[in-house]
Amino acid sequence: MLLRRLGEALANQNWFVVIIEVLVVVIGIFIGLQVDDWNATRKDRIDERAFLQQLHTDILFASDLSSRVRTRRLERLQIVMDASDVLYRRGHSDSLTEEECIALSSSNFFNINAPGLPSLDELIATGRLEIIRDAELRRALIGLQQTRATLSAMIAIQSGASTFTHLPSIYPDLIQLTPYFDEELEEIRARATCDLPGMRGDQRFLNQWSANADGYDAYIRDGLAPWTSQFDKVHELIDEALGLHH
């Protein structure tokens, strides 16, 4: 109908009608495009909300899987440094605490469960990360992926390196372990007994301890600590976006 009227107006050289009909077509196309844009934007907002809710669920699950060991590993770095001070007579103490002895025995433990976030993996795989309007959150999510990859690579390299060893297995006369069930934590742990004079007098032990301590420091400072910081930041930003308070 519109094309017929436009054709008749052109044939009759009725330019006013031609202009009106053209404007109707242009305005119709413009409105159609605007409606499409509005629908696409509305869908993005719905998808963004659903994604953030699922991501929050993934974050909580990942936190539950990793928080216990993660906290233990992070806290152990200071204990490792304190144990070194005792071994090399750099501090005021001339005896090892039980925690310091345990730190000596587990200084090659670089393992940590660093779960991925399935909803984030899916969003990146489909190329839809831009539906997240918060630029800071987008950057934080990308940073989380990067720090997790770095941590995973570091764990794989250091766990397989012969440079770092389980000291009680190599020096059983200097460190003895006894398993027990910790009722509070509901897990099996180990009690450690350390021969401090023997350790101080064994240069091979001190050399290996130095390597282990250096490796543990790198594992925390360059791997676990950055990932933990980024993980916590993402959690905080998601809570803000969803208006949640824990």
Strand partners, 194: 175
Tell me the C-alpha distance between 174 and 87, whole Å: 13
pLDDT band with cut points at 50, 70 and 90 for residue 96:
very high
Tokens of 167: 């000291």
Would residue 56 count as lying in a domain? no
Start-to-end C-alpha separation, the chain: 62
Would residue 49 count as lying in a domain? no
Domain count, the chain: 1
Could you list the residue range(s) of the whole structural domain that residue 136 is in?
67-242
Would residue 133 count as lying in a domain? yes
Classify 99 in phi/psi space as left (phi over 0), alpha (psi -120 to 50) or beta. Answer: alpha
To the nearest 10°, report the CA torsion of 166, 169, 170, 176.
110
Each residue's pLDDT tens digit, 108-151: 999 888 999 999 999 889 888 888 889 999 999 999 999 999 99
Would residue 106 count as lying in a domain? yes
pLDDT of 206 = 98
Each residue's pLDDT tens digit, 181-239: 999 888 999 999 999 999 999 999 999 999 999 999 999 999 999 999 999 999 999 99
pLDDT of 148 = 96
Q: Is the dihedral of CA 208, 219, 182, 180 positive or negative?
A: negative
Would residue 212 count as lying in a domain? yes
Tokens of 26: 């242009």
Tell me the C-alpha distance between 85 and 62, whole Å: 35
For residue 151, how many other CB atoms are within 10 A of its CB?
22
Tell me the C-alpha distance between 131 and 170, whole Å: 54
pTM of the predicted model over 0.75: yes
Would residue 229 count as lying in a domain? yes
DSSP 138: H
| Secondary structure (3-state) at 189 | strand
